[in-house]
Amino acid sequence: MTTIELLEKLTSPAGVAGEETSSFETLKGLVSLYGKVSTDVSGNIIVQREGTGKHILLDAHLDTIGFVITEIMDGFVRLSKVGGVDMRTVEGMEITIHGTEDVYGVICTVPPHLSDGESRVSTDGTCVADTGLTKEEAEKIIAVGDKASFKKSFEILGENRISATYLDDRAGIAVLLKALEYVNTDKKITLVCSAQEETGGTGATCAGYNIDADLSVVVDVSFATTPDADPKECGKLNGGAMIGFSPILNRQYSEMLVNIAKENDLPFQKEVMGSRTGTNADHITISKGGIPSVTVSIPQRYMHTPIEVVDVRDIENCAELIARFIERV
């Protein structure tokens, strides 16, 4: 399976935080190619490869941002964001409401002719979607508390880049699955496709506590440059793995990743953070008595929108770096 094919399969099912089970059957079937698969009460998908020596925990989050239905009206539903949806981009967005059956909707927008030039961006994380259904029709298949997701999108940009929904963090899962293909080791490895990262890291907190690991590698996406972004705060697409350096991360392992990248002619970028990482490493590193952790991030544009962009070469380079790290550590 090519990296592009893997990404398309991984980004296909929705999995709004707290409702990850909607994607279980699709993703469990895919990750079962890489080890023994189980789930836990937190909503994590866990892939285990037995071995000896150090036990390595690999984490990338399964859940996605999205919406929850808070009110059903005549022809419309009111939504509240789940996770850090970029509300600047939602007007006119197509969504799928996950009731007893899927319902198509479009998020309402006021025509510019009627807006007096004023911003209509939501400041409280709520919006309204048009379903075309009467209240009576909607209530037969939609309930308050149901989740809604972006309409699926998957497009190839040029030769090596993908624009798609939910690359945050299905791209991270792709990296770790590819790493399991590349690695040559008899070490014990547990891959966690973790739940509820977008709403506080609950899944990784529980997984880190339950899994008796010696160290962890957390893979997520991070910011990639665009013409209107500050390059000092971003990495570059096709710039290679963004290796994390943070007070909460294990400096020895971060430096080891850098050395391995240099030895194997793998492109890399340092991602320096003054405190927390904003990833599941923040939770795993303090699980139980503490688990030494490192982060490897994928440069990504347009985070928390339905048109996120990554470079396939970064996916493959991150995977090879992690495989060589597992062999060395």
What is residue 117's predicted lDDT score, i.e. its pLDDT?
61
Q: Say whether pLDDT at 297 is over 90.
A: yes
Q: What are the residue boundaries of the structural domains of the chain, listed by start? A: 3-64+165-328, 66-150
188: which strand partners?
A: 55
Nearest one of 30, 329, 46, 32 to 190, comparing CA atoms: 46
Q: What is the pLDDT of residue 120?
A: 65
Residue 14's pLDDT is 84
Cβ atoms 256, 325 nearer than 8 A = yes
Q: What's the token pair of residue 86?
A: 């970029």
Mean local confidence (pLDDT), 105-121: 77
- Contacts of 82 by beta carbon, 8 Å cutoff, 6+ apart: 16, 17, 18, 65, 66, 67, 68, 147, 198, 199
Per-residue confidence band for 323, with pLDDT thresholds at 50, 70 and 90: very high
CB-CB neighbours of 327 under 10 Å: 13
Q: What is the pLDDT of residue 114?
A: 76
- pLDDT of 121 reads 66
* Average pLDDT score over residue span 112-117: 72
Q: Which CATH architecture has domain 66-150?
A: Beta Barrel (2.40)
- Summary mean pLDDT of the chain: 93
pLDDT of 28 strictly over 90: no
Looking at the DSSP assignment, which residues form a beta bridge with residue 299?
A: 222
* Residue 112 confidence (pLDDT) above 80: no
Residue 145: band (very low, low, confident or very high) from pLDDT cuts 50, 70, 90: very high
Percent residues over pLDDT 70 in the chain: 98
pLDDT, one tens digit per residue, over 202-235 is 999 999 999 989 999 999 999 999 999 998 899 9
pLDDT(22) > 90 = no
Instruction: Please say if the pLDDT value at position 201 is more than 90.
Output: yes
pLDDT digits (tens, 9 = 90+) for 72-82: 999 999 999 99
Which amino acid makes up residue 177? L
Tell me what pLDDT residue 72 has: 97
pLDDT of the residue at 122: 72
Mean pLDDT across the stretch 296-325? 97
Protein fold of 3-64+165-328: Aminopeptidase (3.40.630)
Q: Is the pLDDT of residue 2 over 90?
A: yes
pLDDT at 119 over 70: no
* Digit-coded pLDDT (tens) for 237-277: 999 999 999 999 999 999 999 999 999 999 999 999 999 99
HSE of 4 in the Cβ direction (CA atoms, 13 Å)? Answer: 11
Would you say residue 52 has pLDDT above 70? yes
In which band, very low, low, confident or very high, does the pLDDT at 48 lie, cut at 50, 70 and 90? very high
For the chain, give the percent of residues with pLDDT over 90. Answer: 82
Query: Average pLDDT in the 132-154 region?
Result: 95
Distance CA 315, CA 266 (A): 12
Give the model's confidence band at 8: pLDDT under 50 very low, under 70 low, under 90 confident, else very high.
Answer: very high
**Could you tell me whether strands 241-245 and 187-194 are parallel, antiparallel, or unpaired per DSSP bridges?**
unpaired
